[in-house]
Structure 1
Amino acid sequence: MGSAFKADPAFDAGSVVVCDWPLCEVRLQDDARFPWLILIPRRAGLHELEDLTANERAALMDEVVRAGDLVRTLGEAAGRPVQKLNVGALGNVTAQLHLHVVGRRHDDGLWPDPVWGRGVARPYGANGLQTAVSRVRLQARDVPTK
């Protein structure tokens, strides 16, 4: 593999590492408007899905489903149950391969538009961020891959 995996430093500006799964680093987006996780495959030099092996792509999809379960848990905990999951791999700002798993509601303020580049992020705040990270870490251990 040559060089070791390192998440692009741009991710640090808006998200925090929650845990590592078999393939991906799992990050929580620091935007309390939406329950939102980012999955970054822990392989160096990835830019597109095609850069993964077939087995890694299958593992990534399993982890996306798993992340969706966690996003739903975050929404429930905030009293805003998720009505729709949005999954996206844009890479226009940060080219490193990563997927966003975002919980949406019909009353979330941006519905039905996409969340990327829209509005101003509302940080959780120190206590809210720690609570959300703890919740995801606890659930991340217990959510099986379907």
Structure 2
Amino acid sequence: MKEFALDARLEQDSLLLLRLSLCELRLSKDARWPWLILVPQRADVSEITDLKPLDQVMLTFEIETASAALKKVTNPTKINIGALGNIVRQLHVHIVARFEGDPGWPGPVWGHGVAEAYDAEKQEELMMRIREALSS
């Protein structure tokens, strides 16, 4: 049986926050939006429907859990959730906090402008606050 391996682009563009029961929870390195990424730790999975039924349920639970933590920490106008996979085929779910007036509002975050790196201190603070929100 093949082992889970994170796609190189996901590894390059995000940081590991923690491992949940099913997914790696990662923070996008693009500081323009508070942006989490869930990656099910399963080999050769590109669609939600490729997951076993119990894993589908767990993914839904982890999306809700991560979304609630992001919402608690950032107080956004809207939470966007999407699993596109047109470029990176490995199944991953984006959870993005959106705010009126943010870059690209009200359109999608994909293909808009150039990614901006986090200030190291702000990045660490956001990661810590998300971990705390997940544990409460």
TM-score with structure 1 setting the length: 0.87
- Counterpart of 1:126 in structure 2 is 120
Deviation (angstroms), 1:91 = 0.6
Q: After superposition, what is the alpha-carbon deviation per residue over 1:60-94, rounded to whole angstroms, capped at 9, x for unaligned?
A: 1111111111221331xxxxx30111111111111
Separation (CA, whole Å) in 1 of partners of 2:103 and 2:131? 28
Paired residue type of 2:101: D
For structure 2, the residue ranges without an aligned partner over 5 or more in a row are none
Greater CA deviation, 101-110 or 17-26? 101-110
Q: Distance in 1 between matches of 2:25 and 2:64?
A: 13
> How many residues matched?
136
User: Deviating runs (4+, > 6 A) in structure 1?
Assistant: none
Amino acid of the structure 2 residue aligned with 1:102: V
Structure-2 separation of matches of 1:68 and 1:111: 19
**Secondary structure of the structure 2 residue equivalent to 1:138:** helix
Q: 1:59, CA displacement in angstroms?
A: 1.0
Aligned-residue sequence identity (percent) comes to 38
The residue aligned with 1:98 is: 92
1:27-74 deviation line (CA, Å, top 9, x unaligned): 001122211100000111101111111111111111111111122133
| Structure 1 unpaired stretches of 5+ | 76-80
- The 2-side partners of 1:35 and 1:3 are apart by 32
TM-score between the two structures when normalised by the length of structure 2: 0.93
Report the aligned-residue RMSD.
1.2
